[in-house]
Structure 1
Amino acid sequence: MWTLALLSTVSYGALYYAQPLLAVATEHALGWSRVQTGLAFTLALLVTAFLAPAVGRALDARGGRTLLTGGAFLGALALLTLALTSSYPLFITGWLLAGVAMSLTFYEAVFTVLGQQVQGAARTRATLTITLIAGLASTIFVPLTTALLEGGGLRVAFVSLAALLLGVGALTWRVLPPRARKERDVQVVPFTPDSPFVRLTLAFTLARVVTVGVGLQLAPLLLAAGYRPALAATLTGLLGLAALPGRVVFVPLLARVGALPLTVVLLAQLGLASLLLLFTHWPLLVGLGIVAFGLASGALTLARVEVLLRHSGAAVFGAANGWMARPVNLAQAWTPLGVGLLFTWTGRYAPALLLLAALGLFSAWTLRTLARQSSVGVSADV
């Protein structure tokens, strides 16, 4: 558990949260535009999305030791490639390699390996621990990357982050079991998505659109409404900070409410909280909306694992999670472009927030109707 937590934290920190800072430094060093660096990172996220089903099936079949270790080493190779690049094609190649590494080291892969080794309440507690630790990735790696860039420059930053990934990769190889733990006399059948699973995927995909869309627009929204930069930054940081207690509260609520009903509430909370952000002239309502949104988005990380495990089971969790991860990650990759275009067309943030709120409420309705149907594969008490 601690190794998987460390792997998640370093991978998210070095390959995801450090990217904006590394992109700006790369633009200054090589004279490239934000479009060029942004396109490379978008391509990396698209690679992660398209590889997710294959990675999930491979993890079900082989376990995580080789694949997760390889992902960490590949991430290090990607960063070293970026450290040495002076041409744009090689820069794209480095981020494509990083996209493969993300698919092997981010939550989807880590939770699959965890589910192979730990079951029941122990798995829920372990998942919570991993998300709480990895939730600090931005808190750790944004100032760390800044210090590396200021102290040694772009190449030193890339090489240092690569060294961290190499170290955590070596630890992963040493600690993780060589193969998945399989129950005896259990025949594993290939995963085939059914109608309830497709609706689950739709709900979590819409939720990702909402969380990414609100996260991108919150600071600009507050600044446009006249909030001081320091206050806008503080409130934006509160969005991520609130995710941590949201995950802590999720575990006791899970036992009382059940995973699917609780997920319905969390999705509805995303939509309603998005609506509160429209009332920028009432800071108290905005603060309440930010806290409610952060609590829900943090808890949904755990909710997805719990609902998916109860629907598909641990034996094919990797394949099921990978199948779901593709549209979810594609939504993450394309949402920045979508909300940006909507703002360009309207010149206002309100239309995008209204759309995001509607998507959040629709995702809750999707799971609500699923929970009320007696013939679905997810029981009402999950």
Structure 2
Amino acid sequence: MSRFATVAALGTAQTLAWASSYYLPAMLAVPMARDLGIAPSTVFAAFSVALIVSAALGPYAGRAIDRFGGRPVLIASNLVFAAGLAALGWANGTPALFLAWALIGVAMGSGLYEAAFATVVRLHGQQARSAITGITLFAGFASTVGWPVSAALESHFGWRGACMAWAGLHLLIGLPLNACLPRLPHAGAADAAASAQPETAPLLAGADARRAAWLMAYVFAVTWFISTAMAAHLPRVLQATGVGFALAVSFAALVGPAQVAGRVLEFTVLQRFHPLLSARLAAMAHPLGAVAIGLVGAPAAAAFAVLHGAGNGILTIAIGTLPLLLFGSQGYGRRQGLLMVPARLVQAGAPFLFGLGLDRWGVQSLWISALLGVTALGALMCIAVPNGLAKRTTAQPTGTP
């Protein structure tokens, strides 16, 4: 299987995984709550449980990918996704709702970006940067695809039918795609194949590596907090600037294409440079958009959505590529799982906490996310790289995915 085919399969499967989990509550939380006789906030609380479960499971899923490759782990995630979504469709009360989302959380911990990134690193070693970018180019449209599909399914079949349909898509599309991934050789052959991968020494080691790991964990946590808060509240944030509802939704829809545009920029222009430089530039985007909103208000709403989307799109790639370059591919899956634990935990509380700020301060709550973005930029500036940022290092991949 060619590298492009691997990227296409993983990217398509990731689009399905994100659309049927992370982007599901935005369309189905209200009808779920209405049918079950509970508040929508209870549905989001159950979704937060899924995020906490995924955080706890991430390091173990990464370790399994390091050992066995991504194919069996991702296939299992499709089965668990299907079971969890079916259980959600059958839920008849609050306990069943929470149990179903906890099961979906197991699938999210072993079947979203971290697992896909670890899979291509296991297959391609230090040459995985372009593959990681390619996967995010596909999955960047998860919200663009997932929201209207979920809304259409709910309109025609109800929210229970929508959950069942997503479960079926995991069995009919996601599972076969992940089953097409290359198998890893067994035992000694696997070791020989791993040693044949193009490797470079990690750029950081010892105390420098530990310091960089803590800083990156903080950056990733801030990135996921801002991303999740905006995913849950962006139309409302834009309305708070004075934009009408229809226009706010239209502007919010720019985030998906802007994410993909940012990733294309990273894949073409910024790939010549160190990923740390890309991450620093991307970390500036959300705060700059917030400043624009603060200065001119509603006329900057579209620019804010585009800046936020582009920055978030590039930072998603950095989450996969920075640990690979700085720490090497050995043990990448487990390390990535550990680095993402704080991110998953703060992500679980982001919609609720930012919503409180939005209720109290309106559009001024953007200063909270903007200041967090500035601290993330400061953390990235504190990561020193021996070879500098001006040139691509030998750890960067060549060619296309």
Corresponding residue of 1:184: 195
Structure 1 residues 174, 207: closer, same or farther in 2, change over 3 A?
closer
Which of 97, 105, 109 is matched with 2:103 structurally? Answer: 97
CA contact (8 A) 1:222 1:280 kept: no
User: Which of 328, 347, 355 is the equivalent residue of 2:361?
Assistant: 347
Aligned to 1:311: 326
Q: Unaligned stretches of 5+ in structure 2? A: 1-5, 394-401
Q: Distance in 2 between matches of 1:196 and 1:163?
A: 42
2:13 counterpart of 1:12: no
What is the DSSP-based 3-state SS (H/G/I as helix, E as strand, rest coil) of the residue aligned with 1:240? helix
Between the aligned partners of 1:174 and 1:228, the Cα distance in structure 2 is 46
The separation in 2 between residues aligned to 1:214 and 1:6, in whole angstroms, is 24
Residues 219 and 303 of structure 1: CA distance in aligned 2, closer, same or farther (over 3 Å): same
With normalisation by structure 2, the TM-score equals 0.85
Given the alignment, which residue of 290, 295, 299 partners 2:305?
290
> 5+ unaligned residues in a row in structure 1: which ranges?
none
TM superposition shift of 1:169:
4.5
For the residue of structure 1 that corresponds to 2:382, the secondary structure is: helix
Q: Secondary structure at the match of 1:178?
A: coil
Letter in 1 for 2:363: Y
The residue aligned with 1:358 is 371
Partners of 1:148 and 1:262 in 2: CA distance: 38
What is the CA RMSD across the aligned residues, in angstroms? Answer: 2.6
Are the aligned partners of 1:70 and 1:169 in contact in 2 as well (CA < 8 Å)? Answer: no
- Equivalent position to 2:140, from 130, 135, 154: 135
Letter of the 2:368 partner, please give it: L
2:119 alignment partner AA:
V
1:40 aligns with 2:56: no
* Residue 119 of structure 1, CA deviation: 4.4
Give deviations 1:27-78, integer Å, cap 9, x for gaps.
Answer: 2322222122111111011111121112111211121122111111001001
Alignment partners' CA distance in 1, 2:373 and 2:248 = 24
> Which residue pairs with 1:230 in the alignment?
246
Bigger mean CA deviation after superposition, 210-219 or 321-330 = 210-219
Aligned residue for 1:325?
Answer: 340
TM-score, normalised by the number of residues in structure 1: 0.89
Residue matched to 1:281: 297
Aligned residues: 373
Instruction: Tell me the CA shift for residue 361 of structure 1.
Output: 1.4
Q: Contact 1:68/1:172 (CA < 8 Å) preserved in 2?
A: no
User: How far did residue 204 of structure 1 move?
Assistant: 2.2
How far is 1:159 from its partner? 1.6
Q: How does 1:118-267 map to 2 (within 5 A)?
A: 118-119=124-125, 123-172=128-177, 174-179=179-184, 182-184=193-195, 194-267=210-283
* Matched residue SS, 1:347: helix
Displacement of 1:315: 2.2
Report if the CA contact (8 A) 1:280-1:286 is conserved. no
Other structure's SS at 2:66 match? helix
Q: CA deviation at 1:173?
A: 5.3
Cα distance in 2 for partners of 1:339, 1:161 equals 29
Q: 1:73 to 1:355 in 2, by over 3 A?
A: same
Asked whether the equivalents of residues 245 and 295 of structure 1 are also in contact (C-alpha less than 8 Å), the reply is yes
SS, match of residue 348 in structure 1 = helix
**C-alpha deviation, 1:256, in angstroms:** 2.9
For 1:218 and 1:339, the matched residues in 2 are separated by: 11
Bigger mean CA offset, 168-177 vs 232-241: 168-177
Residue of 39, 60, 66 corresponding to 1:60: 66
Q: Deviations over 1:85-120 (max 9, x none)?
A: 213212211110000001111100011001111245
Q: Kindly tell me: are residues 253 and 155 of structure 1, through their superposed partners in 2, closer, same or farther at Cα, counting changes over 3 Å? A: same
| Partner-residue secondary structure (3-state), 1:370 | coil
